[in-house]
Structure 1
């Protein structure tokens, strides 16, 4: 991974700590992805606000920000040729596999059975989400290792 790419990831990470950052500071190759991602969340928010559930979208945005942060950490490890221990890797790997983000984002559009308590439950690392993320992460790592 090139140092310029690491700097661009760092720029995106810094921007995402605030509200909705601007894509103007990103390199051209990231602008399209970033603007389309924001469009998806805007469309979700427009749809959910009609049902009085727009606050759910903020949860999805938060999980995407968290996923971006762990991607940056993994890219930094790669650039520094650092091989983390399993204890260091797994908390990051469980987020970077995308399953946690998928779980939280899928709750956004569900019916009224999904409450604030549901999101709180999912954020507190329940066994079912942790187990599913672990399976997803390890399967991806096994396939990635065989291919690489």
Structure 2
């Protein structure tokens, strides 16, 4: 853990930042915990951390105009563009650039191509975050869950995290592996849906307290003219059906990629389920204190 912390010390000047980093590290350990995955651990922790910054900007703090500006910066990936951002976004901009510089430095020259795939997924993520901002500002409720998931499955960020999980692996992850993950294969589609539905179930009541983009529960209520309680039950059932489809893909997978890579995606999905088990544990981080203490502080 020392190498990881030394590489990330630039992000830990504030107590809340340190807390968030530890939570991200816990999340990452569910994907791959053996010491030989040290590089992958650093990279995945950084991307989870910076993704939480993206999420806060678009979900809670940015205006429609600011989010549009921030999206244009991410699309350009131009460090010089940061000066046009509001001060708070400029700070986030700096942390994001520092993080991806660390990631790039972790890769050997023959692995640098992986950054292109990573950046493409980041751009796709923020574009869909920005679509949700516009939906929120215009009070748009998609007419069906299926239509809702065309955007919201991607804002679960799981397609980005699945790609990231491969970036730090050794040469078992080939260019063909990144081409494969870029097609968003069925197993990855189901991962995104599972996490989106989990998130919406666990955060719906809290998000009603502030202006927020419509959730899949809102779309289900609109589509079927039912109460929130019934919609929640149906979304839960849809989540369980998505798990069945995901498990079928996992057990019967024959898509030409090494089993070890598919196992990483499987572990990512299981960890997501844990992070939203009975609550949104990533937002309500105190729920994770005992787990973090038992893993990182207390001796066996």
Please report the TM-score for the alignment, with normalisation by the length of structure 2: 0.46
Q: Does residue 33 of structure 1 match 2:92?
A: yes
1:69-96 superposed Cα distances (whole Å, 9 cap, x missing partner): 1111001100011111323320211110
Specify which of 58, 61, 73 is matched with residue 116 of structure 2: 58
Alpha-carbon deviation of 1:52?
2.2
2:162 to 93, 97, 103: 103
For residues 10-29 of structure 1, what are the structure 2 equivalents within 5 Å? 10-21=68-79, 22-29=81-88
CA distance in 2, matches of 1:59, 1:5: 28
Q: How far has the Cα of 1:20 moved from its partner?
A: 2.4
Structure 1 moving runs of 4+ over 3 Å:
none
> What is the Cα deviation at residue 51 of structure 1?
5.0
Q: Residue 125 of structure 1 is aligned with which of 167, 171, 184? A: 184
Q: Is there any run of 5+ residues in structure 2 with no aligned partner, and where?
A: 1-58, 209-300
Cα distance per residue 1:20-52 (max 9 Å; x no partner) = 25211110111111111111111111120x352
Checking the alignment, whether the CA contact within 8 Å between 2:82 and 2:93 is kept in structure 1 is yes
Are the equivalent residues in 2 in contact too, given 1:41–1:61 (CA < 8 A)? no
Alignment-derived partner of residue 204 in structure 2: 145
Unaligned runs of 5+ in 1: none
CA RMSD of aligned residues (A): 1.8
| Structure possessing the higher radius of gyration over alpha carbons | 2
Matched, 1:87 2:146: yes
SS in 2 for 1:24: helix
* Equivalence for 1:75: 133
Residues 117 and 182, structure 2, Cα contact 8 Å, conserved in 1: no
Distance 1:17 1:99 in 2: 19
| Superposed CA offset, 1:63-122 (max 9, x none) | 111111111100110001111132332021111011111101111111101111111111
Scaled by the length of structure 1, the TM-score of the pair is: 0.90
CA distance in 2, matches of 1:102, 1:116: 17
Distance 2:77 2:69 in 1: 14
Asked if structure 1 preserves the Cα contact closer than 8 Å seen for 2:159 and 2:184, the reply is: no
